[in-house]
Copies of this chain bind each other. A is one copy, B any other.
Amino acid sequence: MIRADGRRPDELRQVTILRGWQEHAEGSALISAGRTRVLCAASVTTGVPRWRKGSGLGWVTAEYSMLPRATDTRNDRESVRGRISGRTHEISRLIGRSLRACIDLKALGENTIAIDCDVLLADGGTRTAAITGAYVALVDAARWLGRPDAIITSVSAVSVGVVKGEAMLDLAYSEDSTADTDMNVVCTGADGFVEVQGTAEGTPFDRTMLDSLLDLAVRGCAQLTAIQTEALRGPVPAGPPRPGGAR
């Protein structure tokens, strides 16, 4: 079966990652996956939230948001509505958990890295693109801090789903909105699962289908890991002055 955009069922969309796009940030990455585009910024601050003080451990947190016109029709801003939606909360928490899985919080020291993922253009898979891009921003922030070893593995994420009865990798919006099952999978570069979130939108899925989806996702994450590694090759892009030293 050929998909609307010509991909095979097990094929990722084209993914590119540009580092240093938001130049004030200690780490940043603009990731594109097909027509989905997410700007990820990592901000370093000395110190940790109050409940964590004196623990010797650092903290990583994340916030996800979408520009009002990232989508087909305009969405009201959450700042204007005065409330953050359940969906936004849920995705922010997922991104934060996923990134904490790749970092040694003790090696980070009592520093906080806040990751902002702002969706500039949305065509499905925005939360998984955010995780994949945020990892790159996080690595640059850890390097900026002089603590590259705090990164203990890589993390990437991809969506899979059942469309017209067939398991497919990396759903575009038009596929996602008609999928029977939608699953987001976060993996480490070392083949471990960090998150598995599968939801039957219509018909429940059986164990066989679940196995096929997991197979596809693992393979997709491996490809994303390679793209992340490639993007992180080369010098740290110019950023703010490093603590205690020249730039």
State the A residues within 8 Å of B (CB): 22-25, 28, 35, 39, 41, 43, 45, 63, 65, 67-74, 77-80, 82-90, 92-93, 97, 101, 114, 116, 118, 120-122, 153, 183, 187-188, 190-200, 203-207, 210, 214, 218, 240
Contact = CB atoms under 8 A, between A and B. Distances in A.
B196 A196 contact: yes
Interface of A is mostly: mixed
A240 B45 contact: no
Given A23-B35, A69-B24, A70-B24, A190 B210 contact: no
A166 to B, nearest CB: 17
Task: With a 10 A CB-CB cut-off, give which of A65, A72, A118, A199 has the most chain B CB atoms.
Answer: A199
A95 to B, nearest CB: 12
B89 A120 contact: no
A45 B74 CA distance: 9
Contact of A198 (B22, B25, B193, B199): B193
- Chain B CB within 10 A, most for which of A69, A120, A199: A69
A68 B43 contact: yes
26 contacts: A23-B35, A24-B121, A41-B69, A45-B74, A65-B79, A68-B116, A72-B240, A77-B79, A78-B79, A79-B84, A80-B84, A82-B82, A82-B83, A86-B86, A86-B92, A87-B93, A89-B90, A188-B204, A190-B204, A192-B200, A192-B203, A193-B204, A195-B198, A197-B197, A197-B198, A210-B214
